[in-house]
A and B are shown apart, each in its own frame.
Chain A
Amino acid sequence: MQPGSVYAIKEGKDKTEQHTLSVLVDNEPGVLARVIGLFSGRGYNIESLTVSETEHEKHRSRITVVTAGPPQVIEQIKAQLERMVPVHRVIDLTVTGKAIERELLLIKVRGAGDDRVEALRLADAFRARVIDATTESFVFELTGRTDKLDQFILLMQPIGLVEVSRTGVAAITRGPEAT
C-alpha cells in the first residue's frame, strides 16, 4: 500500500477512512516543514492542518492534521510521525472516539436589498456573528464542524459570496483527562 514501493499491492481493496490526528511537537524551527514534508514525500493526504504553539513555556505546539487513506496507510502515517525526532506524541482522535472538532470561518458576502436580509437571516440560523459591515457587505464569523461551515458557504454563494478564510480543524478530546 506504500506509494514508495513499486511492488505495492493494488489499492482499492480497503476503504478510505478520514482520521484526525493530534501531534504534539517541540516547537523548534522547521518542525512544521518536517511534518508537511513527511506527508508530501510519502504521498499521504492532508485534508486540513492547523498548528499553533499551545504551551509557550515548554515551547510545545499541537498540530492537528485531518488525513485520509486506507487503514494500513493511516497506521503508517502514525508510525512515521511518531518516529520523528521532535515529536512527543501522536493521538488518533478518530480512534479515541470522543473528540470535539471545530473550525473557524471568516466569510465576506456582498449584496443589496433582499440579499442582505437573507444573508443576515441565514447567519442567525447558523449562529454566525457579523464582525464587519458596510452598506453593501458583511463579514461573518462562524465556528463549527467542517460540514457546517461547508453548508454555510454553500448557502452564501447565490447571495454574493466574495471570499472565504478558514482555519482548518482544531480538535480536543472530551472529559477531564489530557490526551
Chain B
Amino acid sequence: MTRQMTGAEMVVQALIDQGVEHLFGYPGGSVLPIYDELFQQDKVQHILVRQEGGAGHSAEGYARSTGKVGVVLVTSGPGATNMVTPLADALMDSIPMVCITGQVATHLIGSDAFQEADTVGITRPCTKHNWLVKDVNDLARILHEAFYVARSGRPGPVVVDIPKDVQFATGTYQGPALVEHKTYRPRVEGDQAAILAAVEMIAKAKKPLFYTGGGVINSGPEASALLRELAHLTGFPVTSTLMGLGAFPATDKQWLGMLGMHGTYEANNAMHDCDVMINVGARFDDRITGRLDAFSPGSKKIHIDIDPSSINKNVRVDIGIVGDVAHVLKAMLAAWKSAGHKPDKAGLKSWWSEIDGWRARNSLGFRQNSETILPQYAIRTLYERTLGKDVYISTEVGQHQMWAAQYFGFDEPNRWMTSGGLGTMGYGLPAAIGAQAAHRDALCIDIAGDASILMNIQELSTAIQHELPVKVFILNNQYMGMVRQWQQLLHGNRLSHSYTDSLPDFVKLAEAYGAIGMRCEKASELEGAIDAMIAAPGPVLFDCRVANLANCFPMIPSGKAHNEMLLAADATDEVIANAIDAAGKALV
C-alpha cells in the first residue's frame, strides 16, 4: 500500500497502521501540523498531559500494563529535553516506547532557532535508537522501523525527530508490511546445545533456584505461564527481581519473595547457598548481587537473556543462553520432558528444609500495635482490601516502593509498574494514568511517598480531564524516607535536607485539582478509609499518615554479601550506625 500524503498525515496513518489506540503528548510549535491531523480523526486517542515527562512515564505505564508499545508526541526543544528522563528510564527497564518529537524546519537546524535542541544528539545515549528524518519519503519507513526496533529483541525507547517542513511536505507513504529493517535481527531462539546442557545441569541440582526478572514480563504472558510450568515440574524455589514481580505468583508455596537489597531473608540466603542458579531474564544488577566477589560463591549459573551484552557483564556464568525467555523456556521444558528427567527429590527436600529455616526468621514481620499506622501495615491492608479486584499498581521511588514490593502480592504479570533501573521519583502517578488509559475499568493505584508525588503532581489534572480514576495512596512520613535511612546508615544520622518542612495539605490539594482528597491517621480507621478510596468514582489523593521514622528492612547493607542481611529485629541504632564500613560507603 503506497499513497501520497503529507508528513503529518503519515505520522497519524503510521500510528493507525501500527495499531496504536492511545497517544500521550503535549503540543507545541514544531508539532502543530501533526496535532492538526490528530484533530481530524478519531482512531487514535490523544491524552494531554501537563508536562512532557508525564507523557513519557504514562507511555511507560501503558506499555508495561499492556505489553504494547507506548507512544509519545512532544514538541521540539524543551518538549524533547523534558522527555530525556522517561527515555532513560525506559532504556534501563527495557520498556518499548516510540517518542515522536517535532523539530525546527530543516533549513533552521544548527542556527539556534527558537525551541531548537539537538534532540538526536541529546537522546542518543538514552534511547535504543533514534532518527532525524530529513526527507518526507523516508518518514513512513522510519516510523515503522521505529516500532519494530522498540518492541523487538530487548525492548526499549526510540525517538523519531521530525522537522516541521517535513511534516508539511508531501511524499509517498508505505504500510508496515513493506518495511524490513536492514540490520536489526535479534535472536529469539536459544542455542539448542546450551539449552540441553542447562537442562542436564538443572536435573542434577540439589540446591537449585530460579532467579527471574523483567525479561519474563517483557517476553509476554506465555513466558510467565511457561515459568510456572517449569517451576512446578521441578519443584524448585523461585525468587524475582523488582522488575519481575508477578511473573510467578506471590501466593505460590514455591515463591520466596523478592531478592536483593531489600529482598527477603530466605530469597537472599537461597541465592547465596544455591548450587545451580537459573537466571531467567534478569541482569545481575548491583541492587541484586550486593558484593560481587561474595555473590553466590558455590553455584553454577545459567543465564537466559535476549541481550547478549547482559551475559557475563557483571557476573561470569557457566551457561549463557541468548534468546527470548518464552522460546527458551519452551525448549527447556521439551528437553526436560523428552529426557525423562526427574528432580532430585531427596536433595530438594533437604534444600527446602533449609529454606524453611530462613523463612522462620519472618524477615518481613512487623507489629502493628498502636494507632500509629506502620507503612508495612498500610501496604498489607491495601493488598488485602484490593484482593480479587482487577488491580494495577505503580509506585514512585523510595521506601514506599520497597514496601510495596515486599507487602503487596502479585499473582499475574503486567500488574506492577515501577522505575527499577533508573529509580525515577515522579514515575508512579503518570504510569498509573497510562495503565488506567489502557484499562478503563480496572483499579489503578499509585503507591507513593510524600516527596515523590510532588515531582509530577500536576498529572492529577490529566487524570481529571480524561476521567481516569487513578488512586494515589501516599505513605506520608514527611521525609524522603530512603534518603533519611541512608543518612542514618552512612552519615552519622545527620539528616541533611531530607525532611520536608512545608508539605501541602494533600486533601486540599486534591480538591483544588477537582479530585477527591482523603486522609487517614489511625490504624483502626485504615480499612474503612481504603474501602472508601476504592469505591470513590474519580481520582483520589489519599494521605496516609504513617510512622515518620520507620525504616525499610530487611536490608543488605552496601558492600555486604547476601548472607549478611540486616533484619528489622536486629536493627538497633548502634547496629545501623556501624552497618556499613568505609569501603561500602563509596558504593551507595
Contacts of B149 in A (CB 8 A): 85
**Contact among B120, B183, B290, B292 for A85, CB-based, below 8 A:** B183
Separation of A9 and B290 alpha carbons in the complex (Å):
11
B184 at the interface (CB under 8 A from A): yes
Cβ of A2 to closest chain B Cβ, rounded Å: 6
A76 at the interface (CB under 8 A from B): yes
**Contact among A26, A29, A37, A83 for B309, CB-based, below 8 A:** A83
Check B124–A79 contact: CB distance below 8 A.
Answer: no
Check B308–A82 contact: CB distance below 8 A.
Answer: yes
Cβ of A108 to closest chain B Cβ, rounded Å: 34
Check B125–A41 contact: CB distance below 8 A.
Answer: yes
B284-314 vs A, CB cutoff 8 Å, 1 = contact: the mask equals: 0010011111000000000000011101111
Cβ of A15 to closest chain B Cβ, rounded Å: 17
Cβ of A101 to closest chain B Cβ, rounded Å: 26
Contacts of B182 in A (CB 8 A): 26
**Number of B residues with CB within 8 Å of any CB on chain A:** 33
CB-nearest residue of chain B relative to A8? B292
**Contact among A8, A26, A33, A72 for B124, CB-based, below 8 A:** A33
A1-39 vs B, CB cutoff 8 Å, 1 = contact: the mask equals: 010011111000000000000000010011001100100
Cβ of B514 to closest chain A Cβ, rounded Å: 44
Cβ of B57 to closest chain A Cβ, rounded Å: 23
Check A7–B292 contact: CB distance below 8 A.
Answer: yes
A75 at the interface (CB under 8 A from B): yes
Check B313–A76 contact: CB distance below 8 A.
Answer: yes
Separation of A41 and B312 alpha carbons in the complex (Å):
19
Tell me whether A7 and B286 are in contact in the complex, defined as CB-CB below 8 angstroms, given that A33-B121, A34-B124 are known contacts: yes
**Contact among B120, B289, B292, B316 for A30, CB-based, below 8 A:** B120
A102 at the interface (CB under 8 A from B): no
CB-nearest residue of chain B relative to A30? B120
Contacts of A29 in B (CB 8 A): 132
Contacts of B309 in A (CB 8 A): 76, 79-80, 82-83
Separation of A83 and B183 alpha carbons in the complex (Å):
10
Contacts of A82 in B (CB 8 A): 308-309
Check B290–A7 contact: CB distance below 8 A.
Answer: yes
Contacts of B120 in A (CB 8 A): 30
Cβ of B547 to closest chain A Cβ, rounded Å: 31
Cβ of B567 to closest chain A Cβ, rounded Å: 22
Separation of A29 and B312 alpha carbons in the complex (Å):
31
Check A86–B307 contact: CB distance below 8 A.
Answer: no
CB-nearest residue of chain B relative to A83? B309
A49-66 vs B, CB cutoff 8 Å, 1 = contact: the mask equals: 000000000000000000
Separation of A42 and B130 alpha carbons in the complex (Å):
19
Check A85–B314 contact: CB distance below 8 A.
Answer: no
Cβ of A56 to closest chain B Cβ, rounded Å: 15
A71-91 vs B, CB cutoff 8 Å, 1 = contact: the mask equals: 010011001101111111000
**Contact among A8, A37, A79 for B308, CB-based, below 8 A:** A79
B588 at the interface (CB under 8 A from A): yes
Which residues in chain B, 260-302, are within 8 Å of chain A measured between CB atoms? 286, 289-293
Separation of A30 and B125 alpha carbons in the complex (Å):
12
Separation of A126 and B586 alpha carbons in the complex (Å):
52
Contacts of A30 in B (CB 8 A): 120-121, 124, 130, 132
Contacts of B311 in A (CB 8 A): 79
Cβ of A59 to closest chain B Cβ, rounded Å: 9
CB-nearest residue of chain B relative to A5? B286
Separation of A31 and B159 alpha carbons in the complex (Å):
15
Check B124–A6 contact: CB distance below 8 A.
Answer: no
**Contact among A9, A26, A75 for B183, CB-based, below 8 A:** A26
Contacts of B184 in A (CB 8 A): 85
Check B291–A7 contact: CB distance below 8 A.
Answer: yes
Check A37–B125 contact: CB distance below 8 A.
Answer: yes
Contacts of B588 in A (CB 8 A): 6
B587 at the interface (CB under 8 A from A): yes
Contacts of A26 in B (CB 8 A): 182-183
B128 at the interface (CB under 8 A from A): yes
CB-nearest residue of chain B relative to A76? B313
**Contact among B121, B125, B183, B313 for A86, CB-based, below 8 A:** B183
Check A7–B587 contact: CB distance below 8 A.
Answer: yes
B129 at the interface (CB under 8 A from A): yes
**Extra contacts besides A7-B291, A37-B125 (20): CB < 8 Å:** A2-B314, A5-B286, A5-B292, A6-B587, A7-B289, A26-B183, A30-B120, A30-B121, A33-B121, A34-B124, A37-B124, A76-B313, A79-B309, A80-B309, A83-B308, A84-B129, A85-B129, A85-B149, A85-B181, A85-B184
Q: Pick 5 A–B contacts, CB within 8 A, sort by A.
A: A6-B588, A29-B132, A37-B124, A87-B183, A88-B183
8 closest Cβ pairs, A-B complex = A79-B309, A85-B129, A7-B286, A6-B587, A79-B308, A85-B184, A80-B309, A5-B286
Binding site for A on B (CB under 8 A): 120-121, 124-125, 128-130, 132, 149, 153-154, 181-184, 186, 286, 289-293, 307-309, 311-314, 316, 586-588
